[in-house]
Structure 1
Amino acid sequence: MDNIIFKKVWEDENFIEIKITAISKFSTSYQTCYIDESSLERLMSKLYSYLNDYTQNSYIEFGDKKGNYTPAFSMELMGADVRGHVKIEVDIEIDDVDDRSHRCKYFVESELGAIERFSQKAFDFYGSQIGTSIAMFER
């Protein structure tokens, strides 16, 4: 089953490190990235905006894809079809070369209800304990 999973793996006073795993029927990949609380709040805001008008695409990015930064992650939620199904294009950086050119980009299929549940769980994710995971679809 397609899924997007965020797992909290580390924290300090200013940032948390999350492991993002994206699963589709064609590929499974993961990366870690560092975000602050305001980045997670922007994610929630974009998800809520998308849920209010799911006919429009919504682009979410953690980090910068160019320059001397930690790995960056992005996903673009495509407009939902008439049954509420959503394709999410994930772009995961493979952190194995210095020029940051290795990326894995593919679609993860989801649905509006799963996105809504994920956004509700994201509300408490930043302050959660290390090891906490949130997913579009619970296994």
Structure 2
Amino acid sequence: MRDNILIEKIWQEQENDLVELKINCSAEYASAIQTCYVQKEALGYICDQITKCVNLLQKECYLEFGKKTGNFTPAFSMGIEIDFYGHVRIEVDVEIADNDSRKHRSCFYVKTELGLLEKFGNNLSRLINEPIGYCVTLND
């Protein structure tokens, strides 16, 4: 299995600028799928943070799609780590929405390269205006 993160726009509410995303993460030893809701503005912020992380070669960057605690819909997060050589390791935290207490999660690393992460961030920003069914991949 190849390391990858696939994010697809599956629903959008026009009035509140709310977007539903289907997120599919895979690595050598694990894979997980979830859906989450995010405001367009928050998605734009996430894209900006990925760009900032890449351009400034920040060693660590943490991003959340939604809120991981409290009485909210399922959330997804990525902890991005960049080493000296430009290798990228992303710790994905995928919520398994099979209970009301939000206690089931799957966390694992997805590996990529700096250029692919930059491309992913740029393409992710297109989800804001693209139609339902638009899909962004990390390692394409």
Instruction: Classify the TM-score, shorter chain.
Output: over 0.9
Letter in 2 for 1:112: L
1:100 alignment counterpart: 102
1:1-139 aligned within 5 A: 1-13=2-14, 14-82=17-85, 84-138=86-140
Q: Quote the Cα distance in structure 2 between the aligned partners of 1:91 and 1:59.
A: 11
SS of residue paired to 1:26: coil
Deviations 1:100-120 (A, max 9, x none): 000000100011011011112
Letter in 1 for 2:25: A
- Would the aligned equivalents of 1:55 and 1:80 in 2 still touch at CA under 8 Å? no
Deviations 1:38-60 (A, max 9, x none): 11111111101111222420000
- Would the aligned equivalents of 1:80 and 1:112 in 2 still touch at CA under 8 Å? no
Deviations 1:49-72 (A, max 9, x none): 111222420000011111110001
CA RMSD across the alignment: 1.0
Q: Quote the Cα distance in structure 2 between the aligned partners of 1:64 and 1:44.
A: 17
- Would the aligned equivalents of 2:6 and 2:137 in 1 still touch at CA under 8 Å? yes
Q: Quote the Cα distance in structure 2 between the aligned partners of 1:80 and 1:132.
A: 31
Q: Quote the Cα distance in structure 2 between the aligned partners of 1:48 and 1:133.
A: 19
Letter in 1 for 2:100: D
Q: Quote the Cα distance in structure 1 between the aligned partners of 2:69 and 2:50.
A: 24
> Kindly, what percent of the aligned residue pairs are identical?
36
SS of residue paired to 1:78: strand
TM-score in terms of structure 1 length: 0.94
Q: Quote the Cα distance in structure 1 between the aligned partners of 2:121 and 2:24.
A: 16
Q: Quote the Cα distance in structure 2 between the aligned partners of 1:55 and 1:34.
A: 27
